Amino acid sequence: MHSDLVDRINGLAQNARVQHGKEAPAAVLGWMATFRTWCAANGFEYMLWDNNNIRSVLTENSAVFDAEPQYCGKADVARLEILYKYGGIYIDSDMVDLGKDFGPFVGQEKENARGLANSVIGSSRGNLITYTLLKLQPMFFWGCPTAHPFERTGPLMFDHVLYSIFSHITIFPFYVFFPFFWGHTPGQAAHKPMTVAEYNTAYPLSFTVQCGYSTNNLETTLV
């Protein structure tokens, strides 16, 4: 998440995901497997966070987690708690690793020059930036009761906090982790994700892609 974490992040052990409240389709399990492979190859412990164990980590913002009706918003809350307490790399379960080496980061969205995506986050344990996001998240949540999760707990909250308080952070360009916008995959139907090999051919400069499981309505088409 911060440029001076490059050396320290590689020694941390937590790779965390939050699953969307039900058994994952085979396609999603395949995407998740790409990161289990990455963890095994890079000395990271793979940890799946789901409904069975997420309560154990919720201490700061459990009230926000309970009040948020959408799973994407609940995951926004949980990822900050996980990273602050354990450190490591948080990866959404609809991300796909393309088999290249990468370190700590905040990724930029393709269609919003100041939109900071929060699906891939690297953080040291007890990191000040993560702590600040964690502490300010309730203010955005309770202060914007009609807003969508991406506005009050997710990317736009990240945008406001990081640009206004931590102007020295390094922001990677969109193509590194998010080369296409959800549902806007060139040359294919929105609900038919590519294989890893096809993604690598289409996006040779990218380290990951995000298939947009909920945003792209893939829960209605994947089995």
For residue range 24-59, what is the model confidence (pLDDT) as tens digits?
A: 778 888 888 998 888 888 778 888 888 888 899 899
- The residues, ordered by sequence, that sit 6+ positions from 195 with a Cβ below 8 Å of its Cβ are none
Between residues 14 and 105, the one the model is more confident about: 105
For residue range 122-174, what is the model confidence (pLDDT) as tens digits?
A: 888 899 999 999 999 999 999 998 998 888 999 889 988 988 898 777 777 88
Domain count, the chain: 1
Residue-range definition of the domain harbouring residue 172: 3-220
Element (H, E) at 117: strand 116-117
b/e per residue, 102-135, with b = 16+ CB within 10 A? bebbbbbbbeeeebbbbbbbbbbeebebbebbbe
At 107, is the secondary structure helix, strand, or coil? strand
b/e per residue, 33-69, with b = 16+ CB within 10 A? ebbeebbeeeebebebbbeeebeebbebbeebbeebe
- CATH number of the domain at 78, please: 3.90.550
Inter-CA distances, 84 with 14, 16, 188, Å: 11, 12, 38
> What is the reported pLDDT for 35?
87
- The residues, ordered by sequence, that sit 6+ positions from 193 with a Cβ below 8 Å of its Cβ are 27, 96, 185, 211, 218
Longest dimension (CA), the chain: 44
Place of tokens 């959800």: 182
For residue range 176-191, what is the model confidence (pLDDT) as tens digits?
A: 888 877 655 544 455 5
Q: Determine contact, residues 185/165, Cβ cutoff 8 Å.
A: no
pTM (2 d.p.): 0.79
Q: Determine contact, residues 1/126, Cβ cutoff 8 Å.
A: no
